[in-house]
Amino acid sequence: MNLPNIQIKKILYATDLSETAVHSFAYAVSLANMYDAGITILHVLAEIPGEEFITNMIDSGTWNEIKARHYSEARDQLIGKKRDNVAIKEVLQAFSEEAKADGEDQAFVTDEILIKNGDPAEIIIETAKEQNCDLIVMGTHGHGAITDVLIGSTAKRVVRQSTIPVLVIRLP
């Protein structure tokens, strides 16, 4: 049997900023070091249902009145959200730099740090395609079978829908 020569040049590391995600970063770094691959770090801010769901519940006139009453509050929240994105990006940059400094024997290159909004599983898969990644590395919380059946886990959806390999890491 002829086994294919596996080349991993780009790794997408998806993080939700949890302890599990931090643990999974060690795997991304180890693989990047072994394969001389770059790492793209991705954090997805999950969005709540949008306007199309609201207008299913109330008519558009009422919704427009509510929006007008809360315009300045919404504006402040959006500006704050944009600042939060910048803060998260800075945190991930610092995290990446600290990992490089701490692991002198494990050199890796952070290609890019991305903060995106949307459905986490969909955004992870889309980003892996856009960035031409060879592997996705992510953590999972493993809340249990009942939670997975009722809610479904992001990792489970990514594994099912991804066309590239996915390495899912749990805390020991």
Domain that holds residue 42: 10-169
The runs of H, that is alpha helices, within the chain are 19-35, 51-57, 60-69, 71-102, 120-130, 145-150, 154-161
Q: Is residue 62 assigned to a domain?
A: yes
**Rg of the Cα trace of the chain?**
19
Distances (CA, A) of 114 to 88, 91, 93, 129: 10, 12, 10, 14
Q: Is residue 150 assigned to a domain?
A: yes
Q: Which amino acid is at 26?
A: A
Collect all residues with Cβ–Cβ distance below 8 Å to 155 and sequence separation of at least 6: 138, 139, 140, 166, 168
pLDDT-derived band at 150, boundaries 50, 70, 90 = very low
The CATH number of the domain holding residue 90 is 3.40.50.620
How does the average pLDDT of the chain come out, rounded?
80
How many domains does the chain contain in total?
1
Q: Is residue 2 assigned to a domain?
A: no
Q: Is residue 70 assigned to a domain?
A: yes
- Closest alpha carbon to 29 in 16, 13, 44, 9: 13
What are 90-110's pLDDT values in tens digits?
A: 888 888 888 777 766 767 888
> Which of 48-52, 78-82, 147-151 is least confident?
147-151
> pTM for this one?
0.75
CA distance 60 to 42: 35
Q: Is residue 129 assigned to a domain?
A: yes
CB atoms within 10 A of CB 20: 20
Q: Is residue 5 assigned to a domain?
A: no
Q: Is residue 1 assigned to a domain?
A: no
Q: Is residue 4 assigned to a domain?
A: no
**Looking at residue 114, what is its pLDDT?**
93
